[in-house]
């Protein structure tokens, strides 16, 4: 069973990467990137959809838009894809939830979600 999951994950990663190469818009957004020595790219699989998540995240989890920024993600082959990163968060510090989304063109990709987000407590410049 574990070997099947690994095989499916690798196949999905390959399909996502090849689909990006076949899409002219995605191919334009990709650029070759030099990685620092000793770096590796962890091939992650992320769920993408043309459906905007805003209303669904609010109705299901009470999450509201919190921050957005222009961002890039690394993809296999030492390339990056440019898009917009959005963080949605349920207000409050107890039992809150959050979701990180990466938008590329009309696709909305969930990068991560979790619970119990709190402000960083270290001083600026201190190692975390």
Q: What separation in angstroms does the CA of 127 have from each of 39, 77, 118, 123?
A: 20, 30, 17, 9
Domain annotation covers residue 91: yes
Q: How far is CA 21 from the centre of its chain?
A: 19
Which pLDDT belongs to residue 86?
96
Domain annotation covers residue 122: no
Per-residue pLDDT averaged across 55-80, rounded?
A: 89
Domain annotation covers residue 32: yes
Domain annotation covers residue 127: no
DSSP lists the bridge partners of residue 115 as 97
CA distance 9 to 78: 19
Is 34's pLDDT higher than 50?
yes
Which pLDDT belongs to residue 81?
92
Per-residue pLDDT averaged across 3-20, rounded?
A: 38
Report the number of distinct structural domains present in the chain.
1
pLDDT top residue among 103 and 124: 103
pLDDT top residue among 10 and 109: 109
Domain annotation covers residue 124: no
Domain boundaries, position 76: 2-115
Domain annotation covers residue 95: yes
Domain annotation covers residue 61: yes
Per-residue pLDDT averaged across 103-122, rounded?
A: 89
Domain annotation covers residue 126: no
């Amino acid at each position: 069973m574990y070997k099947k999951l690994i095989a499916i994950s690798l196949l999905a990663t390959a399909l996502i990467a090849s689909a990006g190469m076949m899409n002219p818009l995605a191919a334009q957004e990709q650029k070759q990137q030099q990685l620092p020595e000793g770096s590796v790219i962890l091939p992650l699989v992320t769920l993408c959809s043309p459906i905007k998540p805003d209303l669904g995240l609010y109705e299901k989890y009470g999450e509201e838009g919190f921050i957005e920024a222009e961002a890039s993600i690394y993809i296999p082959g030492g390339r990056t894809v440019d898009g917009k990163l959005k963080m949605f968060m349920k207000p409050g510090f107890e039992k809150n939830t959050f979701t990180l989304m990466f938008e590329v063109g009309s696709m909305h990709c969930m990068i991560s979600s979790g619970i119990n987000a709190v402000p960083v407590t270290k001083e600026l410049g201190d190692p975390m």
